[in-house]
Amino acid sequence: MRKPTAILLILFAVVLTACSSSTGKDSPTNTYIPEPIDETVAEKHEEAFDPYATENRYDVADSYFEKHAGVDYGTVEKDVTYYSTVAGDNKQCNVLLPAGFDKSRTYPVMYVVHGFGGSHDSQIDDDSYLTLLYGNMLHDNLTVPMILVNLDMYTDKLADKDDKSDEELRYIYDKVITEITTDLMPFIEATYPVSAEREDTAVAGMSEGGAKSLCIGFEHLDRFGWIASFAPDTGVIPTEYYKGTFWNTPYMDEFPQPTAENTPYYLYMTVGSKDPYNVDCTLYYRDVLDGMGVKNQTDLVEGYEHNPTFWRQCFYNFLTKVFHQ
């Protein structure tokens, strides 16, 4: 039989957890209390997991993007250099190895694509939001051990980077769609213990990186089983948006039609209702894919804009689902 003091302590903990779980994005808590909203990884594997069956959430507390004592955030290997035949020069990436990294085991891998003007350390760096989010989620058993690679879209002679206009950068960025499978993935697979199977390979990005994630995923459906695109720019397929500008130039004439063998396990697109740039094109991509019969989960999220405050919520959702089968 529990003593009255113990009962009071348990009731107090329940109240604290309830308060944390009900906190929205406008009034987040800074108290780090694991939120009992999502199933743990073990619970997901008790039966066949359908990532489309669970609604995404956009009220994740600030505590998940902060550093906490007692949490192992893994190791960020910075400025990892490899030679790119497509660029004709060396390129760099940042690599996040998970807590408890064991080089004798094989990990799934997620390639992260930055936005326009960013670089290979925009999302993965010491104490960056994605590094902290992933560490906290792994600690709370809300995601699986994986290796994350923050790639650099700039695929040209590095010495000339600062001299490029936005228009030149747009087309230079397009080259990463070929470069990722030609140079980066072979390097990562030779250097780190990652699986080369499509069920163990994901790509995720935001803004221009979101557009490139769609291009990468659909250009290489045989290599990528999981695709996430947060507020993607125009330039994936033909649209009516930003006509007459370099933003409108499509990379593909149309989305390739997936087959039964290469249909994505999960295709996630999302955009904030206050995004000043990409609401229309995100929803257009959704409508085209729906018309093709390509399953996707696309969210129009009230109140969010085009910034990291939104990206970090999106990564939370993708991390709860990616590589769960």
pLDDT of residue 324: 87
Distances (CA, A) of 238 to 4, 182, 203, 276: 67, 26, 22, 20
pLDDT of residue 39: 55
Contact between 122 and 82 under an 8 Å Cβ cutoff? The reply is no
Pairs from 75-84 (Cβ < 8 Å, separation ≥ 24)? 75/101, 76/124, 76/125, 76/126, 76/131, 78/121, 78/125, 79/120, 79/121, 80/191, 82/183, 82/184, 82/187, 82/191, 83/183, 84/155, 84/179, 84/182, 84/183, 84/184
Question: Within 10 Å of residue 99's Cβ, how many Cβ atoms?
Answer: 14
C-alpha–C-alpha distance, residues 231 and 294, integer Å: 19
**Percent of the chain's residues with pLDDT above 90:** 84
C-alpha–C-alpha distance, residues 285 and 110, integer Å: 22
Mean pLDDT score across all residues of the chain: 89
pLDDT of residue 272: 98
pLDDT digits (tens, 9 = 90+) for 138-170: 999 999 999 999 999 999 999 999 999 999 999
Domain boundaries of the chain, sorted by first residue: 42-321
Judged by DSSP in three states, 298 sits in strand
Residue 4 has pLDDT above 50, yes or no: no
Residue 41 pLDDT level (bands cut at 50, 70, 90): low
3-state secondary structure 69-90: CCCCCCEEEEEEEEEECCCCEE
Contact between 306 and 278 under an 8 Å Cβ cutoff? The reply is yes
Residue 25 has pLDDT above 50, yes or no: no
pLDDT of residue 46: 52
pLDDT digits (tens, 9 = 90+) for 43-82: 554 568 899 999 999 999 999 999 999 999 999 999 999 9
**Residue 140 burial by Cβ neighbours in a 10 Å radius (0-12, 13-18, 19+):** middle
Residue 34 has pLDDT above 70, yes or no: no
pLDDT digits (tens, 9 = 90+) for 99-136: 999 999 999 999 999 999 999 999 999 999 999 999 99
pLDDT of residue 207: 98
pLDDT of residue 1: 33
C-alpha–C-alpha distance, residues 130 and 124, integer Å: 6
Domain 42-321 has CATH 3.40.50.1820: yes
Closest-CA residue to 33 (of 22, 47, 43)? 22
pLDDT digits (tens, 9 = 90+) for 203-240: 999 999 999 999 999 999 999 999 999 999 999 999 99
Residue 294 has pLDDT above 50, yes or no: yes
